[in-house]
Amino acid sequence: MKTIITRFPPSPTGHLHVGGARTALFNWLYARHKKGKFVLRIEDTDAARSTQASVDAIFEALEWLGIDWDEGPYFQSRRYPIYQEYIDKLIQTGHAYYCTCSPERLESMRAKAMANGEKPKYDGTCRDKDLPKPENAVVRFKVPLTGTTVLEDVIKGNIVFQNDELDDFIIARSDGSPTYNFVVVVDDITMQINTIIRGDDHVMNTPKQILLYQALDAPLPVFGHVPMVLGKDRSRLSKRHGATSVTAYRDMGFLPQAVVNYLVRLGWSYGDQEFFTTDDLIEKFSLKNIGRAAGIFDQEKLTALNADHIQATPPETLARLLVPFLEKQGIHAEPGEFLVKIVKTLAQRSKTLEEMALAAIFYFAETITYEEKAARKFLKPAARQPLQFLMDALSAIETFTEENLENAFKSVMEKTGLKLGKIAQPVRVALTGKTASPGIFEITEIIGKEKVIQRLKQAVTYIEQTAEEE
Ligand code: GLU
């Protein structure tokens, strides 16, 4: 059986976009599923738009997603001698020719065609001149004048192109630099790529590329063009729809496996299954289950899936991942036992790591800042006594356990005749500043005796002071 070799060839002109990441994932998963090879190639021939910062950003995003490559990164900008060899080969075999038509002539030809409502096309003036290498000439590819070129697309089915609609396109500019469609084919041939999955914005390039393969006597790869990723309004995904770069999702506290899961499901399916681990995807991925409909990117759905992945992640891992998000809140924490306990109380309640970090702040606070509404509602004179009683009961406990904490609360219920709910809410506000938090016994145990008593004291003082002011 032949080895499947796929590739991802980003142009380094910005961040890795979610649409590009999905293309990378399809190729990577297919290679991994088939125990084949995945090649990374940087298409940086557009020197004006390519930047090192973009190259770095793309590597960073791929690494974060867990996409590794077996070969490369190749850089097109370092492969010019190879391209030159292939240009020469095409000229020698009569598949390409030098063209000396002046830009002015080409421009007037274009203008005339446009005025007649026709598709601009090179008229073939130099096609059969067999010019030797002139100065400042471009090199054009000789497209067959008749017949058809068929793209057998594994996703879209067969697409037939009339050759006479195609131009004798330029493969090398007058400065000798090779053009896009040509270098892609030379790279894919020399890198032995045999399966190409890419966005369907490239469909119109494919007949030209197929003709180049044929002229170079190279076997055609399998092509599959995936529909674009769209926003909820079905227009092409852009900044208007929210963050579009992969690393923005990392920075917002998404887990890479959730982003991977979500992006792959935008265009690929396996029955009704929504939740996949990356290993699961590798096992189940196939080209035949890539759909023909455009994927609609919906940040809310991604967020919901992220919550599921958070819950499926071991708390020890989450604790480690949470550290930088706490750091952003000015909290320096070690990913040890204390943080693992905190994470266990928050994992069910947090959709992102950022949300989890915000929810965790109260565990670390020196003093508690009360939400205004919470304090007004629960830190009232009536709460002073139960808080005081609880403080006394907790002071008498050596080490907090769920059982003796329950007993302490019970003793306060007995002394005051209040139900647990009536006592728990002011305590919650005293300990967290908010009206919603994980279970009261859990947080009391984690915050620990010294800090709990200090916070209850702070609340009692607060009640006394606000009572005096009124
Ligand atoms: N460099 C192209 C892009 O970023 C990819 C071309 C291809 O997949 O053939 O869109």
pLDDT at 41: 98
For residue 87, the CA-to-ligand 1 centroid distance in Å is 21
DSSP codes joined into one string, 43-94: ----TTT--HHHHHHHHHHHHHHT---SEEEEEGGG-HHHHHHHHHHHHHTT
Read off the pLDDT band of 19 (50, 70, 90). very high
> Measuring from atom 8 of ligand 1, which residue has the nearest CA?
198
Contact 119, 144 (CB under 8 A): no
Instruction: Check pocket membership of 11 for ligand 1, CB cut-off 6 A.
Output: yes
Mean pLDDT of 196-200: 97
Atom of ligand 1 nearest to the CA of 8: 8
Mean pLDDT of 230-235: 92
Residues with Cβ within 8 Å of 108's Cβ and at least 6 positions away in sequence, in order, are: none
CA distances from 293 to 155, 184, 226, 228, 275 (A): 10, 26, 9, 9, 20
pLDDT at 241: 86
pLDDT cut 90: percent of the chain above it? 93
N- to C-terminal Cα separation, the chain: 84
The answer to whether residue 240 scores a pLDDT higher than 90 is no
Q: Annotated catalytic, 239?
A: yes
Atom of ligand 1 nearest to the CA of 23: 8
Instruction: Check pocket membership of 202 for ligand 1, CB cut-off 6 A.
Output: yes
pLDDT at 246: 97
Does the predicted model carry a pTM greater than 0.95? Answer: no
Mean pLDDT of 170-199: 97
Instruction: Give the neighbor-by-neighbor strand order of the sheet with 222-226.
Output: 157-162, 148-153, 222-226, 195-199
Read off the pLDDT band of 429 (50, 70, 90). very high
Mean pLDDT of 346-351: 98
pLDDT in tens, 115-147: 999 888 999 999 999 888 888 899 999 999 999
Contact 186, 76 (CB under 8 A): no
pLDDT at 59: 98
More confident residue, 242 or 311: 311
> Measuring from atom 6 of ligand 1, which residue has the nearest CA?
9
pLDDT cut 70: percent of the chain above it? 100
More confident residue, 399 or 319: 319
Burial of 94 (0-12, 13-18, 19+ CB in 10 A): exposed
Instruction: Check pocket membership of 438 for ligand 1, CB cut-off 6 A.
Output: no
Name the helix (H) or strand (E) containing 162: strand 157-162
The answer to whether residue 470 scores a pLDDT higher than 80 is no
Contact 148, 162 (CB under 8 A): yes
Dig out the tokens for 166 from the structure: 């195609």
Instruction: Check pocket membership of 198 for ligand 1, CB cut-off 6 A.
Output: yes
Instruction: Check pocket membership of 184 for ligand 1, CB cut-off 6 A.
Output: yes
Q: How far apart (Å, rounded) are the C-alpha atoms in residues 371 and 386?
A: 20
Which is the catalytic residue, given 2, 239, 288, 419? 239
For residue 88, the CA-to-ligand 1 centroid distance in Å is 24
The lowest-confidence range among 188-192, 240-244, 250-254, 431-435 is 240-244
Instruction: Check pocket membership of 265 for ligand 1, CB cut-off 6 A.
Output: no
Dig out the tokens for 45 from the structure: 């021939």
For residue 30, the CA-to-ligand 1 centroid distance in Å is 17
pLDDT at 1: 76
CA distances from 443 to 246, 330, 364, 390, 433 (A): 35, 21, 12, 15, 13
Q: How far apart (Å, rounded) are the C-alpha atoms in residues 213 and 221?
A: 9
The answer to whether residue 328 scores a pLDDT higher than 80 is yes
pLDDT at 160: 98
pLDDT at 237: 87
Atom of ligand 1 nearest to the CA of 201: 10
Which amino acid is residue 395, in one-letter code?
S
Other CB atoms within a 10 A radius of the CB of residue 394 amount to: 19
pLDDT in tens, 414-428: 999 999 999 999 999
Read off the pLDDT band of 468 (50, 70, 90). confident
Mutate to test the pocket of ligand 1, among 30, 43, 189, 191 (most ligand atoms within 8 A of CB): 43
Name the helix (H) or strand (E) containing 410: helix 402-416
Instruction: Check pocket membership of 10 for ligand 1, CB cut-off 6 A.
Output: yes
Mutate to test the pocket of ligand 1, among 8, 11, 194 (most ligand atoms within 8 A of CB): 11
CA distances from 90 to 18, 83, 150 (A): 37, 11, 21
Residue showing tokens 């509404």:
373
pLDDT in tens, 24-80: 999 999 999 999 999 999 999 988 999 999 999 999 999 999 999 999 999 999 999
pLDDT at 250: 98
Name the helix (H) or strand (E) containing 6: strand 5-8
Mean pLDDT of 242-254: 95
